[in-house]
Amino acid sequence: MTKPTASWRIEKHHPSVMALNVGKSHRILQISDAHWDNKHCDRAALKRDMDEAVAGGWPIIMIGDFFCAMQGRWDKRADDKQLRVEHRGGRYLDRLVETAAEWLTPYAANIALITYGNHETSIINHHQTDLLQRLHQELKHVAGYAGEIGAYAGFLKIGHGYREDRPEDRVNTVIAWNHGYGGGGEVTRGMIDHSRTRSQAYADIYIGGHIHRRNSDENIIMELNEAANTIRLRSQWFLRSSTYKQETGAADNDVSGWHTERGRGERPVGGWWLDFKVERGTTGKRHINVRFRPIPTWA
């Protein structure tokens, strides 16, 4: 295993079980639904966020639908007017992989995890080719890349520690990721999924995407400290990560099209900074407290 930077490293135990070991105070850039190859992807915003991650030495995790992959001849939704120039001329899926690897090269050493979304799994199901694994193989030729490909849903264990040589001092924050499902209604905005995911998996942070909404919800639960016979409070966060695709065409002063016809509005652009602060506790030299706050990337 290669350590990509002095501050973090990723380990893959299974496609749905990953470990990201970091140092003390740390940030992670989390994005989803970049739809990078879509004509309406706000690549300037995506570049800005990823440039900031590179500048800070922070890892980047992408929770599904990096690719859009909707402009092939087989797709009933395909529209030549929506096809980027660099993806014209045949070999559509090959061109997606090749151009994506080229665009991601400046960020390769910071990419820790890329997981599947429904757009990538659709290509596997219909065309028996895996865009993410092919992208992964291309990025392996880029100096510093040591990222991993993860499943549609799984667990990411964030290991916080003061010293690399003292794993016994490390404490963990568990993230349950799931690219997402459903349509995200105009009223519920996907928030109802919080109760559903909490009943299906136990974690400190739940991250989803898919419906192109960005919202958060903090939940406090009580649990028994059996060793001390005391009650302690535990914070759980539900984060919905939005998209980098501008949905309605309002940026081009044209709000006609599929999204508008179905009564859906524009969506936020951007993801989340996962901001961790690690502090020594007061109950013993090996006691560590981890504070967490989500910060939306700039729109």
Dump pLDDT digits (tens) for 280-297. 766 555 567 888 999 999
Residue 121: its pLDDT value, please? Answer: 97
Distance linking the first and last C-alpha atoms of the chain: 35
| pLDDT band with cut points at 50, 70 and 90 for residue 169 | low
Q: What is the pLDDT of residues 74-92, one digit of tens each?
A: 766 666 767 888 888 889 8
Please list the residues that pair with 260 across neighbouring strands.
Answer: none
**Rg (the chain; Cα; Å):** 20
Q: Are 267 and 243 in contact (CB under 8 A)?
A: yes
- Domains in the chain with CATH codes: 8-296 (3.60.21.10)
Q: Look-up: residue for tokens 């459903």?
A: 182
The number of C-alpha atoms within 13 Å of 109 and in the hemisphere containing its C-beta is 13
CA dist 94 → 78, 87, 97, 277 (Å)? 17, 9, 5, 42
Residue with tokens 């940026």: 251
pLDDT in tens, 246-264: 876 666 666 666 666 666 6
CB contact at 8 A, 40 and 267: no
Residue percentage of the chain with pLDDT more than 90: 61
From CA 273, how far away is CA 189, in angstroms rounded? 21
> Closest Cα partner for 66 from 114, 106, 105?
114
Orientation angle between helical segments 131-139 and 92-104, nearest 10 degrees: 40
Write the DSSP symbol of residue 41. B
Q: What pLDDT, on the 0 to 100 scale, is given for residue 131? A: 97
| Burial of 177 per CB tally in 10 Å (0-12, 13-18, 19+) | buried
> Can you tell me which residue has the tokens 């109950």?
283
Q: What is the pLDDT of residue 7?
A: 78
pLDDT of the residue at 162: 52
The two beta strands, 17-22 and 8-14, are antiparallel
Is residue 177 within 8 A of residue 240, CB to CB? The reply is no
Amino acid 190: pLDDT: 74
pTM of the shown model: 0.89
pLDDT greater at residue 43 or residue 189: 43
The per-residue pLDDT for range 140-149, each reduced to its tens digit, is 999 999 999 9
Give the pLDDT score at 191: 77
Could you give the percent of the chain with pLDDT greater than 70?
A: 83
Q: pLDDT tens across 42-72, in order? A: 999 999 999 999 999 999 999 999 999 987 7
Burial (CB count within 10 angstroms: exposed 0-12, middle 13-18, buried 19+), residue 131: buried
Spatial contact of 147 and 136, defined as CB atoms under 8 Å apart: yes
Confidence of residue 195 (pLDDT cuts 50, 70, 90): confident
Q: What three-state secondary structure class fits 249?
A: coil
Q: Which of 41-45, 179-183, 195-199 has the highest mean pLDDT?
A: 41-45
Tell the residue number behind the tokens 């958060």, with chain if given. Answer: 216
Question: 3-class DSSP state for residue 35?
Answer: coil
Q: Which tens digit of pLDDT belongs to each residue from 119-136?
A: 999 999 999 999 999 999
Task: At 249, give phi and psi (nearest 5°).
Answer: 85, 10
Task: Please determine, for residue 97, whether its predicted confidence score (pLDDT) is greater than 70.
Answer: yes
Confidence bin at 3 (pLDDT 50/70/90): very low
Phi, psi (deg, nearest 5) at residue 211? -90, 5
pLDDT band at 1 (very low <50, low <70, confident <90, very high): very low
Whether the per-residue pLDDT at 2 is higher than 70: the answer is: no
Whether the pLDDT of residue 214 is over 90: the answer is yes
Give one word for 90, left, alpha or beta, with left for phi > 0 and alpha for psi -120 to 50.
Answer: left
pLDDT at site 199: 82
The total number of residues shown for the chain amounts to: 299
